[in-house]
Amino acid sequence: MINASYPSKRLRRLRSSTWIRNLVEENNVYITDLIWPVFVIDGKNKCESIASMPNVNRYSIDLLVKEVISAHALGIPAIALFPVTPSEKKTADGRESYNPDNLMCRAIKAIKDAVPDIGIITDVALDPYTSHGHDGLIENGEILNDPTVEILCKQALTQAQAGADIIAPSDMMDGRIGAIRATLDKNSQSNVTILSYAAKYASSFYGPFRDAVQSSGCLNGDKKTYQMNPANSDEAMHEVALDLQEGADMIMIKPGMPYLDIITRVKDEYKVPTFAYHVSGEYAMLRAACDNGWLDYDAAIMETMVSFKRAGANGVLTYAAIDLAKALQN
């Protein structure tokens, strides 16, 4: 019990100068908290801007390697890799997802050869590879759970064998974590980590990402039968518990800022490594406000990162990682 009160207790004394504010600061953002999501495209010497995501680009493998070398030099510990699959390779069953010579696998190998010490996190889901834009197989309008899990296991194993450090299933199929863990372990990939998108919500903030991977034009319907209802919190705790029981090593909450309460609940309850995805729509609206002069970009993005750390996140996947790393270095 704190009995002191004004005027003997003046909280402003601890805000009176920069050095004392820094001294009593409760939460800090470090470069090692940042995961940088990157988009890779086929071809050579190609860099494509994304209209809905200012300052974010798609890179061919040769240019992406150079960008990752620079990111590593800044101190960024890991990247999250997302491929842009050519339309002619998209099929209803997403078979390109487990082709050992697909764009994702070639990018993993090239980056690992050039920057062996940076972590590579790979997305396990079918939406970049399906002609219908969904994360699973479809039959009579229904997303098929168990047949999709079989393909996700093939995809995860292919990525692990290519050199991925962390497999990140973002599909939200039931039972996929246990199945993927068993598949990896049976095939001498027991050291590969699983970062589960255990609480991935059916959010309105994913639009620019779908532009980036060019899946928005082919998406039929929505993803509400497998991604979570934004109104639900207890359900997220069930999802996380199941994934941890099945062998997940770390948990991702997606999106980030609208779900800070979920981050806090997961961290408080399970005390496992928990990450936030500062998703494309969150980044895009902040960037647009700053580009219009309505907000200060450096201050706003840093405040955003602090909010994730305050909520309990161990780290953040953010498109602003490079900007943040440069600011933190300075």
Residues annotated catalytic, as ranges: 200, 254
| Residue 267: closest CA among 222, 225, 236 | 236
Q: Is 141 left (phi over 0), alpha (psi -120 to 50) or beta?
A: left
* 197: number of Cβ within 10 Å: 25
* Burial class for 193, CB neighbours closer than 10 Å (0-12, 13-18, 19+): middle
Contacts of 236 (CB under 8 A, 6+ apart): 198, 199, 228, 253, 262, 265, 266
The distance from CA 303 to its chain's CA centroid, rounded to whole angstroms, is 19
Give the whole-angstrom CA distance, residue 161 versus residue 255.
Answer: 29
Give the whole-angstrom CA distance, residue 330 versus residue 327.
Answer: 5
Alpha carbon distances (Å) from 56 to 179, 221, 237? 34, 27, 33
Give the whole-angstrom CA distance, residue 52 versus residue 105.
Answer: 27
Residues facing residue 58 across a β-bridge: 39, 48
Residues facing residue 81 across a β-bridge: 38, 122
Structure tokens at 72: 């590593």
